Amino acid sequence: MELKWNDAEKLTEWYEKNHRTLPWRENRDPYRIWVSEIMLQQTRIEAVLIKYQIFMQELPDIASLAKVEDDKLMRLWEGLGYYSRARNLKKCAQVIMQDHGGEMPHTYEQLVRLPGIGPYTAGAIASIAFNEAVPAVDGNVLRILARYCLVEDDIRSAETKKILQDALLPVYAHDGVRPRSLNQGLMELGQLVCVPNGAPFCAQCPLAENCQAYAQGRTQDIPFRSALHARRQQERTLFILRDGKRFLLHKRADNGLLAGLYEFAGIDGHLSEEDVRKKMEEKQIAVWHLKRLPDAKHIFSHIEWHMQAWEIRTDELRNLDLPEDYTAYTKEEMALAAIPSAFKTYIDYYGLRSH
């Protein structure tokens, strides 16, 4: 069970003739390729395009990424989610500066030893930037191979993933392989043709002739994925404290969910108006005006926040005795704070940031 060489050649030629023009394909700079691959993990390409170009303008090389302030980095990453990816990028950049003279290593074996760079990302950088004959197997590639080879086992299992990756390996040992185009061809095919949701566009696929799922009319039920654990639902109440000029923001802890990012103050559970007033009284915060705001929901990978929010008008925030992790920000200052998209409903409600 393997990808046939003539099909690998067809796919390579298909990519070279039909690939999209994307900003990280403008050259073979390993830094640009690395950042794009990290951004594209679990994030739609449409969401990445604009953020990527802004990121590159602000942090054009490994050195600038290694020394960027955390708040600026989180602000640049805002809207992409999975913020630990950004923190790992910076950590890895610092290691590259310290251990590799600021130059991205050129081989898979060196790359995969860097923090935050796993087998897929190492394979992508090594093959695209340096044309090393190594695979880069992500969910798109696993789906293509499962259909091509008619693998019915759970695609989430490590054993199945290994079987599918092994189906690729003989191709990379072939003298005529063009790893850069082959790997990007697999990525492009999975994004545009052999798609995960809805019917794949098999008539456009260069692998269709030898695809077993296509031959047996089973592209809709291959691959098989076992169900993930259901997300836990959590109720949250937000306190949007403000005076005439400023809003109160809380900086979350440096570990855990939304680590190091800014949020409106809040607690678990939903509170009544009376409970909110009592909570403010306990904190010795005068309530001059209290208003219920629209509810909001945000879905993380493992949890759903069901949020209700209260606007609380109070005395000048700068005069309050606040813990160190609470700060009063003007609208202009909030535009520079790293506030995650979980709070987009309320950012938009107050027009605190243009998108």
Spot the catalytic one: 37, 78, 188, 311: 37
Active site residue 332: no
Calculate ∠ Cα 284-288-291, nearest 5°.
Answer: 110
SS3 letters for the chain? CCCCHHHHHHHHHHHHHHCCCCHHHCCCCHHHHHHHHHHHCCCCHHHHHHHHHHHHHHCCCHHHHHHCCHHHHHHHHCCCCCCHHHHHHHHHHHHHHHHCCCCCCCCHHHHCCCCCCCHHHHHHHHHHHHCCCCCCCCHHHHHHHHHHHCCCCECCCHHHHHHHHHCCHHHHCCCCCCHHHHHHHHHHHHHHCCCCCCCCCHHHCCCHHHCHHHHCCCCCCCCECCCCCCCEEEEEEEEEEECCCEEEEEECCCCCCCCCCEECEEEECCCCHHHHHHHHHHCCCCCCEEEEEEEEEEECCCEEEEEEEEEEECCCHHHCCCCCCEEEEEHHHHCCCCCCHHHHHHHHHCCCCCC
* Residues 277, 299: Cα–Cα separation, whole Å: 28
Active-site residue list:
37
